[in-house]
Amino acid sequence: MNMSRENQHHPIQEIMATYEQPLLRYVNGIVHNPETARDVVQESFIRFCTGSAGKTVTHPSAWLYKTARNLAIDSRRKHRNTIPLEELPPTAEPAAAAPTPAGLAIARDDARRLRQLMPQLPAREQEILRLRYQAGFSYQKIAGIMGLSVSNVGFILNQALNRLKKMVQDDSVAAMKGGTL
């Protein structure tokens, strides 16, 4: 009996089919832990079910991304809460991976190279790039999800793209130097 109920079609199934993987990737980009990302996405869907019951959510994607984002940040914060001040690493910036000959060979593939370089961007810029070029959201929607103004979204995107462009250029130069050595 329960089985048959579970097999019934429910609107949340469509939502899950559409947004599960994009949300997982987005959240994983924030928490950097697939297991935590799954926790967050599961909770987001549950909140969507319970919170939107009897109500019309006009923008489910924005709702889900925003809820997932809040949960992801909470989760990250809870984790960081346990780190006493004196145990802090000297810098919060992710350590740039030292270029290796193998790494330089891979770097010739543009998409792969961009994936390699992206973690070196500030978290906020990574997130905004993901929302724009992975989820395909408009500036307006990104502004809503991230709690920014639309003009700020444009500014940060521009900053992120320029930074990434510079990193690609630097990386290319390094690769060329590596190749001549």
| Nearest CA among 168, 177, 29, 180 for reference residue 107 | 168
Minimum distance from CB of 66 to another protein (Å)? 7
Number of residues counted as binding another protein (CB under 8 A):
79
Is the Cα dihedral 60, 65, 70, 71 positive or negative? positive
Q: Residue ranges of the alpha helices (H) in the chain?
A: 2-7, 11-31, 34-51, 60-81, 101-106, 110-117, 123-129, 139-146, 150-180
Q: Which one of 90, 92, 102, 181 is in contact with another protein (CB under 8 A)?
A: 92
Q: Find the binding residues for another protein in span 12-51 (CB under 8 A).
A: 12-13, 16, 20-21, 24-25, 28, 34, 37-38, 41-42, 45-47, 49-51
Among 107, 145, 171, 175, binds another protein (CB under 8 A): 145
Query: Interacting stretch for another protein, rule CB under 8 A, among 98-106, 161-169, 173-181?
Result: 161-169
Q: How far is CA 150 from CA 8, 114, 124, 127, 180, in A?
A: 41, 25, 15, 15, 45
Interatomic CA distance for residues 93 and 121, integer angstroms: 9
- For another protein, the binding residues in 106-135 under the rule CB under 8 A are 110-112, 114-115, 118, 122-124, 129-130, 132-134
Binding residue (CB under 8 A) for another protein from 60, 103, 120, 168: 168
Q: Taking the mean position of all CA atoms in its chain, how far away is CA 171?
A: 23
The reply to whether 94 sits near another protein by the rule CB under 8 A is no
Residue 172 interacts with another protein (CB under 8 A): yes or no: no
What amino acid is encoded at 110 in this protein?
A: D
Instruction: Please choose, out of 82-90, 98-106, 171-179, the segment that lies near another protein by the rule CB under 8 A.
Output: 82-90
Smallest distance, Å, CB 174 to another protein? 18
